[in-house]
Structure 1
C-alpha cells in the first residue's frame, strides 16, 4: 500500500470528521489511530497490497479477530469496527474505493456494565467534604491551596448538578455561565449546544471559584476558559479525573470518575420521578435508546410505582 494512502486519504478524512461531523480532537485522534494501525498491519500482512481498493471484507474481519486474540476488550474492538465502517463509507462516497469492504462488519455485543452510582448520602458527603476543604484553606490564608481546593469543589458541584461530560466541563468558558437564570451553555458531541440549569449549591461554588480560585490561577487576562490548570491554561480532562479520584478518597466514599458522577446525577433524576425524555435532553443524548442503556431506576422505586399504578398489582 503506497504511503499516500496513509497520508492524503487520512488527512482528508480527518478534515471531514472535524469540519463536517464536528467531532472533538480526542475522537478524531482515536479514529486516525485505529485506521493507521489497521492499514499498517494489513500492509505488513499482505506484501502486495498497494491501494485501499484492494482491501476486502475478509481482510478486515481477520484483522478485527486478531485484535480480539491479542486480548483487546470488546468495547475497543467495537470502536475499531465502527471506525472502519465510517471510514470506508466515506471513502466510497468520495470515489476513493469502488466498494465498501467494511459494510458487513459487525460490532461485538457489549456487556451491560453500568458505571458506579453513589447514593444521595454519599454525594452529599463528597460535596460537603470538598466545600469544607475550600473553607479550611481560605481560613488558613494559603491562596494557592485555596485556588486548587475551590476549583475541585466547583468541578464536583457542576459535574453532579449538570451531569455534563468531563470533556464538556473543560470546554466551558466564563461567558457560558448565566447566573441570572442559573443556567450554563454546554457544547456537546457533534457541536450540539444545550443549556443546562444548575442549583444554588453549584452557583455558590462557581461564585467562590470565580472570586478566589480562577484569579489566582489565571496568567493571561485574555484567557476565556472557565477552569484553569496550574499553568494558567485550560484545565485538561486527566486532571479533572484525578481531582474527582482524590476527592472521593478524602470524603471516604467509593472511588468514582467524572463519568460516574454523570451517571449518578441521571439516576437520581429518574429516581425522583423525572421523565426519560427530560433526562435525555439533560444528558445531551441524540437517541432515547442511549439514555435507556445509560440510566437505570432503583428497584424500590420501580416496585412502588408498580403497586400504585398497575391495576392488578
Structure 2
C-alpha cells in the first residue's frame, strides 16, 4: 500500500468513526499532505512499508530548516504522524511504528489572558452605545460569550434549534459533538428578542445559524 492511500483511509476513519471536527480534520489532512510532499520532493519511496524512523526524523529536520516551522506547529505535526503510524500498525499495514522514539519539541505553555471585570463593563457600555446595522448582533454576541463561556466556534455553529426560550437554555455542540446545556442569562434575553425582530422569517428557521455567516464575516 502506498502512503497516500493509507492517509486517505486514516482521514476517513477520523471523520466517520472518531467523529473529529472539520477543523481538526483539515489540520490532520494538511500535516499529512506536508509529509507526502516531502517524500515526493526528496524522491523517497512512497510505499508505506518503507517508512522508518530515519525518514520521520529527516521530515522533521526539513520542516525546521527549510520552512522555519515553529515548535508548537512542529509538535502538532509530530502528534499527527504518531497517530497515523499507530493506526497503520493497528491495521497491520506495517509491522513497526515508524514514529516510535520520535520526541516532540518542548514548547512554552501560554497562559490564557482574561479580561478584567471593569474592562468587560467598558466593552459592554461601548457596545450598548453603538448605532449601526450590526449593533444589536454585536452586543448580543459578546454578552452571550461572556455569560455562557462558549468558544467562538461554538457560537458560530449555533442554530436556532439549539436555543429553548421556554426554559431559557442553550444546547451547545462542543468538540467531537459533545453536548452541554447552559442557562441563558437574563441580560441576553431582551437582546435575543430585539435581534430576532431584525431578521427575516426564513432566517429564523430552526436549522438556520443564529449568527449568520454573511453578517459574521462582514464585521
Under a length normalisation based on structure 2, what TM-score does the superposition of the two structures give? 0.88
How far apart, CA to CA, are the structure 1 residues paired with 2:202 and 2:110? 38
How far does residue 36 in structure 1 lie from its aligned partner after superposition? Answer: 1.1
How far does residue 117 in structure 1 lie from its aligned partner after superposition? Answer: 1.8
How far does residue 18 in structure 1 lie from its aligned partner after superposition? Answer: 1.1
Deviation per CA, 1:245-286: give whole Å up to 9, x if none. Answer: xxxxxxxxxxxxxxxxxxxxxxxxxxxxxxxxxxxxxxxxxx
1:206 alignment partner, SS class: helix
List runs of 5+ in structure 2 lacking aligned partners. Answer: none
Match of 2:60 in 1: 64
1:230 alignment partner, SS class: helix
Match of 2:117 in 1: 120
Match of 1:5 in 2: 3
1:128 alignment partner, SS class: helix
**How has the CA–CA distance of structure 1 residues 217 and 75 changed in structure 2, closer, same or farther, with 3 Å as cutoff?**
farther
List runs of 5+ in structure 1 lacking aligned partners. Answer: 138-144, 244-313
How far apart, CA to CA, are the structure 2 residues paired with 1:199 and 1:128? 17
How far does residue 200 in structure 1 lie from its aligned partner after superposition? Answer: 1.3
**How has the CA–CA distance of structure 1 residues 92 and 130 changed in structure 2, closer, same or farther, with 3 Å as cutoff?**
same
2:142 alignment partner, SS class: helix
Query: Which of the numbers 200, 204, 210 marks the counterpart of 1:215?
Result: 200
Match of 2:46 in 1: 50
Query: Which of the numbers 182, 185, 210 marks the counterpart of 1:226?
Result: 210
- Pair 1:193-2:191 in alignment: no
How far apart, CA to CA, are the structure 2 residues paired with 1:193 and 1:130? 30
How far does residue 217 in structure 1 lie from its aligned partner after superposition? Answer: 9.0
Aligned-residue CA RMSD (Å): 2.4
Contact in 2 for aligned 1:171/1:225 (Cα 8 Å): yes
How far does residue 221 in structure 1 lie from its aligned partner after superposition? Answer: 5.3
How far apart, CA to CA, are the structure 2 residues paired with 1:48 and 1:68? 19
1:158 alignment partner, SS class: helix
Match of 1:290 in 2: none
2:171 alignment partner, SS class: strand
2:75 alignment partner, SS class: helix
Match of 2:126 in 1: 129
Deviation per CA, 1:15-37: give whole Å up to 9, x if none. Answer: 11111111111110110111011
1:215-294 equivalences under 5 Å are 215=200, 218=203, 223-230=207-214, 235=216, 239=217, 243=219
Corresponding residue pairs, total: 218
Which is further off, 199-208 or 150-159?
A: 199-208
How far apart, CA to CA, are the structure 1 residues paired with 2:10 and 2:68? 28
How far does residue 120 in structure 1 lie from its aligned partner after superposition? Answer: 0.5
**How has the CA–CA distance of structure 1 residues 221 and 179 changed in structure 2, closer, same or farther, with 3 Å as cutoff?**
closer
1:172 alignment partner, SS class: coil
How far apart, CA to CA, are the structure 2 residues paired with 1:33 and 1:42? 14
2:187 alignment partner, SS class: helix
Deviation per CA, 1:180-237: give whole Å up to 9, x if none. Answer: 333211111111111122311222322222222x33893x957522111337xxx5xx
1:168 alignment partner, SS class: helix
Which is further off, 176-185 or 21-30?
A: 176-185
